[in-house]
Structure 1
Amino acid sequence: MKKLLKILLAIVAVLIITMLVMGKAYHFEKSIVINASAEKVYSHINSTKAFNEWNPWMKLDPNLKVTYSGNPGQIGDKYCWDGNKEAGNGCQEITALVPNQKQSTKMVFFKPFESDATSNIILMPEGNATKVTWDMDCELDYPMNLMKLFMDSQMDKSYGEGLNALKTISEK
């Protein structure tokens, strides 16, 4: 029994140390080169409706309820979603737009847990193509920050799926 207790205490100590060393800040980004002009790619990111044409999370719930508000293609353009356990619910609002260069958003999640994040989609011309970098920043409270150990692989999959969909519609 003492040996089991020592093992459990060691595991708890390792988790606490890991949690403290990792900190709360989380950053993820992924890039892709799209064979289309920045202007064409921008037309697919400059409003929440355009974004949702390739947003990988829209597929998590076939019955997802989405409501839009604000003026499309302007700061304050916003959508809120309410879905199943996988999709959760929350809102995403455009906070900055630089034509043919950048879209920034703020996201607020209510379910499956409350949190918020910021995201940027940055366009950089590369000859006749455009490099698109999509990033996300958030803070995860203790002990939720331990999720960072598993988030990169899921984010890589989701962002990769979204960027590939953006590439497909932009290159048409």
Structure 2
Amino acid sequence: MNYLRRITLTILLIILIGLVVSMFLPSSFHLERKIIINADQEQIFNQVNDLKNWKNWSPWMLKDSLIFNKKYAYSAPSSGVSATFNWGSENDDLGIGRIEIIQSKLNDSIVNLLTLNSIQSKRTWVFNELENGVEVIWSMDIDFGFSPKDKFYGLFIEDELIKEYELGLQRLKTYTENLPKIQRVEVRKMKIEKNQWFLSIRDTISPIAMNNIYGKNYSEINQYMSQQKFESISVPLVIYHFWSDSIVDIEFGIPINDSITIDNNRIKLDKIKSGNVVTAIHYGPYERLPETYFGINEWMRKNKVVVIGPPWESYITDPTTEPNPEKWQTAIFFPIE
């Protein structure tokens, strides 16, 4: 009996000492890390502000990538104030958690409320544009209150969280610096008033064959037009019906004045239908076209534009007469509702 009493008293004494010690432990925890990223401020902000983008850079991807693939994990919408992301993981570091965006100031700052295994923390992002890039500051604040258990927990989390924050920022830097740069293009909406007819050749090819096919197909169409005494009324165009890593469905066209009868197995008559479009001019070499496409897509996303067909390009500048690629102009069009 005395033995049990001694054990009980020892346990109570340990608990009492723990309670006394906890009174002198910090009741809050703060961690902050920063990094300079050489990418567009808006692109960086969107990677954090849209919770679906966290899979692109979050260090949690290395612990359990499956949490980002759950169908009902994200709210709709998944970005901005009140957006949430919920998960459950067999990984003890991730457990059961929830993120909610409680503040979001465009391209400037974001505040998340994170609940992880019953511990709640506030995580703040600040995006400062500097001369040498964008300074991204990621910080965490936890209020332990008077909970002795949570205060002792705070003694052991700093080293692991420092690693997590530094890895997350480095992964965000690597991902965003490899995104196409947003071209500051002038995007506008316009209406095509009438159908635009053109003679075309449509091919399905591999992406590696792209460079060799433009001149060949345009030459074939021009030769046919010359034989039939058809006149071109505008610059050549290309419609991208489908594009993947392995196959491209592409249509080459030369505009003509009106609908005509075509007697050719390879060359067909096609048209761009009248209607609304979003358009912008790309200035520079063709290999930088993705930058302008990215800028147009960002504009359409912000303005909630609905695309209803494949995009096309019109080649305003003829590379055979203008040798300087920096002077080339290409018009890009997206048909919209």
- Do Structure 1 and Structure 2 share a fold, with TM-score over 0.5? yes
Q: Are 1:149 and 2:167 an aligned pair?
A: no
Q: Which piece of structure 1 moves more, 100-109 or 53-62?
A: 53-62
> 2:33–2:137: 8 Å Cα contact kept in structure 1?
yes
Residue 46 of structure 2 aligns with which residue?
43
For the structure 1 residues 17 and 126, does the alpha-carbon distance in structure 2 shift closer, same or farther, using more than 3 Å as the test? farther
RCO greater where, 1 or 2, for CA within 8 Å and sep 6 or more? 1
Instruction: Name the CA distance, whole Å, in 1 between partners of 2:153 and 2:49.
Output: 31
- Counterpart secondary structure, 2:24: helix
1:1-172 mapped onto 2 (5 Å cutoff): 13=17, 15-64=18-67, 66=70, 67-86=73-92, 87-109=94-116, 111=117, 114-140=118-144, 141-172=147-178
Amino acid at match of 2:171: A
> 2:19–2:148: 8 Å Cα contact kept in structure 1?
no
| Aligned length in residues | 164
Instruction: Name the CA distance, whole Å, in 2 between partners of 1:143 and 1:122.
Output: 31
Amino acid at match of 2:170: N
> 1:37–1:125: 8 Å Cα contact kept in structure 2?
no
- Counterpart secondary structure, 2:124: strand
1:45 shift after superposition: 1.2
Gaps of 5+ in 1: none
1:19 shift after superposition: 2.1
1:115 shift after superposition: 1.9
Amino acid at match of 2:107: N
Instruction: Name the CA distance, whole Å, in 2 between partners of 1:127 and 1:18.
Output: 48
Instruction: Name the CA distance, whole Å, in 2 between partners of 1:128 and 1:97.
Output: 24
1:18 shift after superposition: 4.1
Q: Which piece of structure 1 moves more, 114-123 or 141-150?
A: 141-150
1:72 shift after superposition: 2.7
1:34 shift after superposition: 1.0
Amino acid at match of 1:92: I
Cα deviation code 1:58-94 (max 9, x no counterpart): 3322443641113132211111011014220111011
- Counterpart secondary structure, 1:146: helix
- Counterpart secondary structure, 1:45: helix
Cα deviation code 1:25-72 (max 9, x no counterpart): 111111111112322211211211123321112332244364111313
Gaps of 5+ in 2: 1-8, 179-337
1:107 shift after superposition: 1.4
Bigger radius of gyration among the two: 2
Amino acid at match of 1:126: L
> 1:36–1:129: 8 Å Cα contact kept in structure 2?
yes
Instruction: Name the CA distance, whole Å, in 2 between partners of 1:124 and 1:52.
Output: 23
Provide the TM-score with structure 1 as the length reference: 0.83
Provide the TM-score with structure 2 as the length reference: 0.44
Instruction: Name the CA distance, whole Å, in 2 between partners of 1:102 and 1:80.
Output: 22
CA RMSD of aligned residues (A): 2.5
Over the matched positions of the two proteins, sequence identity in percent amounts to 24
Instruction: Name the CA distance, whole Å, in 2 between partners of 1:62 and 1:35.
Output: 26
